[in-house]
Amino acid sequence: MRSTVRDVREKAGDEPITMLTAYDAVTAEIVDEQGVDVILVGDSIGNTKLGHESTLPVTVDEMASATAAVSRATEDALVVADMPFLSYGHDEKESIENAGRMLKEAGAHAVKLESGPHTVELTERMSQLGIPVMAHLGLTPQRVNQLGYARQGTTEEAAAEMLDLAVAHEEAGAFSLVLEHVPANVAREVTEAVSMPTIGIGAGPHCDGQVLVVDDAVGLSSWTPSFVEEFGDVREAMADAVDGYREAVETGEFPAGEHSHVEDELDDIY
């Protein structure tokens, strides 16, 4: 049965919540079939699929297209669309229209916003309108030009600010919170301070759930952050298959008789 935002919220403290990204239908189908609770259509599509060096160039149209593909292929998981850089936060009307597209056009069940003091009111407005919001604190890669990709919440002051923002977003109506690249003890403190589930990436074992970029988790990425564990080697499996194909064509082994068809009736003509 389809997961709902409420299921995700109620699961906190029970079994860990599992979340992976997906950006296309076949990957979403595999992730969904393996029982992962939440599929995030991440703006990490910029790095993983579109060949960009950061998530900043990703557009609302690109996110809507990927989210629609994922939604069409997903039966059980909750589908969350990541809102790309500058598609929210500067103008309330535009933010809500962009987020609304993910639900109305692309079949997402919720959106994720990289959070800060400027997203508290927006989170409240979206929640009131029926757009469930997943918040995101710690390393927020859309701020790469200010933060780099360094671990966040590493000073007493920064950790206290993260805690305050987590509480403020919960009060504003966020249903869940991603904590990225923060010390495990800070993530534990935040997890204890809020009742919404926290989902960690590089944030230690005390969160209510975990998320990874699917390409990193299956071993498809050529580079991964230090907090990643590769649970497979899809890149090598795919390279072997591509190499096998190239060699079979070059040596004339492919296509063989079983891959082709001779039309007998045309035999005396051709």
Ligand X SMILES: CC(C)C(=O)C(=O)O
Question: Which residues are tagged catalytic?
Answer: 180
Instruction: Determine the 3-state secondary structure of 19 from DSSP.
Output: strand
Q: Which stretch binds ligand X (CB under 6 A): 30-38, 41-49, 100-108, 163-171?
A: 41-49
Shortest distance, position 144 Cβ to ligand MHF, whole Å: 8
Instruction: Determine the 3-state secondary structure of 212 from DSSP.
Output: strand
Shortest distance, position 209 Cβ to ligand MHF, whole Å: 16
Q: Which of 63, 66, 120, 213 binds ligand MHF (CB under 6 A)?
A: 213
Q: Which stretch binds ligand MHF (CB under 6 A): 7-15, 41-49, 85-93, 235-243?
A: 41-49
Q: State how far the Cα of 56 lies from the Cα of 105, in Å rounded to an integer.
A: 22
Q: Which of 76, 96, 75 is nearest to 87 (CA)?
A: 96
Q: Which of 181, 182, 191, 220 binds ligand MHF (CB under 6 A)?
A: 181
- Its sign, for the CA torsion 47, 52, 57, 58, is negative
Instruction: Determine the 3-state secondary structure of 121 from DSSP.
Output: helix
Q: Which two tokens stand for residue 24?
A: 């296309």
Q: Which two tokens stand for residue 109?
A: 């069940």
82 binds Mg ion (CB under 5 A): yes
Cβ distance to ligand X smaller for residue 100 or 225:
225
> What residues numbered 37-76 form the site for Mg ion, per CB under 5 A?
42-43
13 binds ligand MHF (CB under 6 A): no
42 binds ligand X (CB under 6 A): yes
> What residues numbered 225-254 form the site for ligand MHF, per CB under 6 A?
225-226
Give backbone dihedrals phi and psi of 141, rounded to 5 degrees, phi first.
-60, -15
Q: Are 207 and 179 in contact (CB under 8 A)?
A: yes
Q: Are 131 and 141 in contact (CB under 8 A)?
A: no
55 binds ligand MHF (CB under 6 A): yes
211 binds ligand X (CB under 6 A): yes
* Amino acid sitting at position 30: I
> In this chain, which residue has its C-beta nearest to ligand X?
42
- Known binding site for Mg(2+): residues? 43, 82, 114
